[in-house]
Amino acid sequence: MSRPSAGNRKSTAGRSIKGEYIETDTGNKVSRRAKIEGTPNIMLAGRTVIMADVHLRGDLHRTADSATSSSNTTISMGKYTVIATGCTIHPPSRLSRGIMHFYPVKIGDHVYIGPECHVSSISIASHVHIGPRCVLGPFSIVKENVRILDGAVVPQGMVIPPGVVVGGSPARVVGEVPEGWGASGRAGETVEGGELRELVRSIRG
């Protein structure tokens, strides 16, 4: 499947005219009230939901003189990923070989980011559930099947191993997700860490 950038969304929009969400050909649902900078640098894999008042800083890309000038993607999101209201995604920056760079934020499939979170991670794997009001510090890495409890503050550079529950400020591992993480969803329902198909489908208008 092709991965058209959100930049095309305005031209392909038009399925829904007055609703809250603009739906693209690949099924991305982007709220009209989301505040998106640098749309050409944001890649949505399809069936991704971006809710109202989400700030995406796609303008903070790697500068042209860097080696990877071919792609300027700053924020990429996988399928069935949901960014809830009031989130901020701000790519982190640091020096590399004496030059300051922004680093892209990569978010996997079936990731739910709760309301009012701040994300500066470089990588969030798939099937991650992030509760409301979390702060994910610069260069943090979140592996697969992770649950981040409400209000957790993940410090800069922290690596969250697969299959754990983290919480607190600063965040630390407080437990493990059960073997059945994300697997308890029956047809037509959504559970934390599971597939978010139904949730994405249920968001309309």
Q: Which residues bind other proteins (CB under 8 A)?
A: 35, 37, 55, 57, 59-61, 63, 88, 90, 93-102, 112, 118, 135, 137, 139, 144-145, 151, 153, 155-164, 169-170, 172-173, 178-181, 183-192, 196, 198-199, 202
Least distance in angstroms from the C-beta of 31 to other proteins: 14
Nearer to other proteins, 45 or 134 (CB): 134
For 121, the 3-state DSSP assignment is coil
Task: Give, in degrees to the nearest 5, the angle at Cα 83 between 18 and 9.
Answer: 45
* Alpha-carbon span 11 to 97, nearest angstrom: 39
Least distance in angstroms from the C-beta of 198 to other proteins: 6
Least distance in angstroms from the C-beta of 155 to other proteins: 4
Least distance in angstroms from the C-beta of 179 to other proteins: 5
By the 10 Å C-beta count (0-12 exposed, 13-18 middle, 19+ buried), 129 is classed as buried
Nearer to other proteins, 30 or 196 (CB): 196
* Alpha-carbon span 136 to 133, nearest angstrom: 10
Nearer to other proteins, 60 or 77 (CB): 60
Nearer to other proteins, 76 or 145 (CB): 145
Identify the DSSP state of 68. T
Residue 131 has which token pair?
A: 């509760």
The strand pairing partners of 147, in sequence order, are: 129, 165
Nearer to other proteins, 4 or 164 (CB): 164
Least distance in angstroms from the C-beta of 2 to other proteins: 27
Identify the DSSP state of 120. -
Cα 21 to Cα 10, 45, 56, 111, 133, distances in angstroms:
12, 17, 16, 19, 23
